Amino acid sequence: MRKTLSCTRLAGVLLLCTGTCALAPAAHAAKLSVSCGAVGQELEMCRQGAEAWAKRTGNEVTVVQTPNDATERLALYQQILNSKSDRIDVYVIDVVWPGLLASHFVDLKKYSKGAEKEHFPSIVANNTVGGKLVAMPWFTDAGLLYYRKDLLDKHGAAVPKTWDELAAAAKKVQDAERKDGNDKMWGYVWQGRAYEGLACNALEWVASFNGGTVVDDKGKVTINNPGAIQALKTARSWIGSITPDGVLNYAEEDARGLFQSGNAVFMRNWPYAWSLAQSADSPIRGKVGVAPLPAGANGKPAATLGGAQLAVSRYSKNVDLAADLVMSLASKEVQKERAIKGSFNPTIGALYKDADITKANPFMAELYEVFTHAVARPATVTKSRYNQVSSAFFNTAHEVLAGQAAADKAVPALAQQLDRVGRGGRW
């Protein structure tokens, strides 16, 4: 069921954890607000970038924390934008939202002065709707496999290249560690709550089993195939064996919390988790490796494309200044700082050769191909109906994982549902 936010909750969310980023604004300073997520260091680093711009320009910026859950955040944004509220000037949006929200954002081409040419062309194309650049790339993401190097070495297990190898290694190390006294140890944690994060995980499983991308680039619903069914069956087999039942309510930070506490062998998460795992107070500092996600039977590894973009609301009272803030936050200098301090992958290709970045995040250079060849969710082809597609997909996956539906029945039913949503491919 789609989540919605009441007006009371909407106001509460907008007031949650806000901060003003100019200590002594000029007498005629403009006041802007920027929405930020709060996964890992995202909120603090967003605040730092906004504060630097505010001090440099003499204006004032309020940073607004929005829900971590991407599904809830989208519902919140839609309520604010549909009401034509000027409450937020700059929006941090998911990579799959430009097509959904484009009508509410200004064309940034007149402000970018060609700066978008430095960014990955595929992301710029993703952010261009009807010929308008509705958002600037801010950071890119792809799902990664984190693993405990020390535990694999201790128990003679290799970094897995297939899902079967992961299940075997996870069970071997998990059981051995429990026998040694750590009864809290689990083999593999990931994002299993019924929200967009599960859509990302499930897409990776399906694609890695040669099951396609739910809807292909021509608009045809392709989810009903043996690979997709086997992928969900495989993931279901992990629950209660190498993965805790509680994963069915895990988002990114829940998985990271368990892994970083030292109680998981493997974790699927985004790049942001690296810098936190290596922080001074992390129990697993220096013990973590990062690799591509495993492949399915006769398939190849697949990582869902993620990331965030920066957009300016058409309803802002200070569009020009808001656009200037966006260009500052998306700049090479700010992206480099965010990469070093927070493991946020740049969207500017040249930064992947920056020695300071690769020293702080060795995996960025090593796994460059993972980021540049990540699997996109079917947001572009499904246009304004992507939210319905995603909700149907992750809810079906959740039902299978929870044992409430069998994959071989749930997947064909999902295909029929999506075909109705897409009007037989006419979207």
Say if 346 falls within a structural domain.
yes
Same domain, 45 and 137: yes
What is the pLDDT, as a whole number, of residue 274? 97
Give the pLDDT mean for 378-389: 93
The structure tokens 């993931």 sit at 235
- Quick one: tokens of 350? 């040249």
Lowest mean pLDDT across 31-40, 170-179, 311-320 = 31-40
Q: Is residue 388 part of a domain?
A: no
Q: Quick one: tokens of 317?
A: 């009272």
Q: What is the pLDDT of residues 48-69, one digit of tens each?
A: 999 999 999 999 999 998 998 8
How far apart are alpha carbons 269 and 253 in whole angstroms?
Answer: 9
Whether residue 165 is found in the same domain as residue 274: yes
- Judge if 67 and 171 occupy the same domain: no
**Among candidates 264, 348, 350, which has minimal Cα distance to 307?**
348
pLDDT-based confidence at residue 17 (cuts at 50, 70, 90) = very low
pLDDT one-digit tens code per residue, 244-286: 999 999 999 999 999 999 999 999 999 999 999 999 999 999 9
Q: Which of 372, 394, 409 is the last residue of a domain?
A: 372
The answer to whether residues 330 and 222 belong to one domain is no
The two most distant CA atoms of the chain are separated, in Å, by 67
Of the three residues 260, 291, 322, the one that is the final residue of a domain is 291
Q: What is the pLDDT of residues 104-163, one digit of tens each?
A: 999 999 999 999 999 999 999 999 999 999 999 999 999 999 999 999 999 999 999 999
Contact 283, 260 (CB under 8 A): yes
Average pLDDT of the residues of the chain: 93
Asked if 295 and 301 count as a contact pair (C-beta separation under 8 A), the reply is yes
What pLDDT score was predicted for residue 425? 86
Both 130 and 218 in one domain: the answer is no
Instruction: Read off the CATH number of the domain in which 48 is found.
Output: 3.40.190.10
Provide the domain limits for residue 217: 144-291
Query: For residue range 135-148, what is the model confidence (pLDDT) as tens digits?
Result: 999 999 999 999 99
Per the domain annotation, does 333 fall within a domain? yes
The pLDDT of residue 175 is above 90? yes
In the block, residue with structure tokens 């519902």: 75
Task: Report the amino acid identity of residue 280.
Answer: A
Among the candidates 372, 405, 422, a domain finishes at 372
Checking DSSP bridges between strand 186-189 and strand 264-269, what pairing results, if any? parallel
Let me know whether 201 and 177 are in one domain: yes
pLDDT level of residue 24 (50, 70, 90 thresholds): very low
pLDDT recorded at residue 28 = 67
| Number of structural domains the chain divides into | 2
**Residue 5 φ then ψ, to 5°:** -120, 130
Same domain? For 32 and 134 the reply is yes
Q: State both tokens at 376.
A: 């996109």
Query: Which residue bears the tokens 């936190």?
Result: 276
Contacts of 377 (CB under 8 A, 6+ apart): 96, 199, 200, 203, 213, 214, 304, 305, 386, 390
Question: Is 25 a residue whose pLDDT tops 50?
Answer: no
Q: Are residues 284 and 327 in the same domain?
A: no
Proportion of the chain above pLDDT 70, given as a percent = 93
Same domain, 287 and 318: no
Is the domain of 148 the same as that of 287? yes
Has residue 1 been placed in a domain?
A: no
Residue 155 and residue 124 share a domain: no
Q: What is the pLDDT of residue 39?
A: 81
Whether residue 2 is contained in a domain is answered as no
Residue at 384 is within a domain? no
Alpha-carbon gap, residue 145 to 158, rounded angstroms: 13
- For residue 68, the model assigns a pLDDT of 84
Concatenated DSSP letters for 109-155?
Answer: HHHHTTGGGGB-HHHHHHTEETTEE--EEEEEEE-EEEEEHHHHHHT
Tell whether the model's pLDDT for residue 16 goes beyond 50: no
Does a structural domain hold residue 69? yes
User: Does 14 share its domain with 111?
Assistant: yes
Question: Would 425 be classed as within a structural domain?
Answer: no
pLDDT, tens only, 283-311? 999 999 999 999 998 899 999 999 999 99
Apex 339 CA angle, 336 and 342, nearest 5: 135
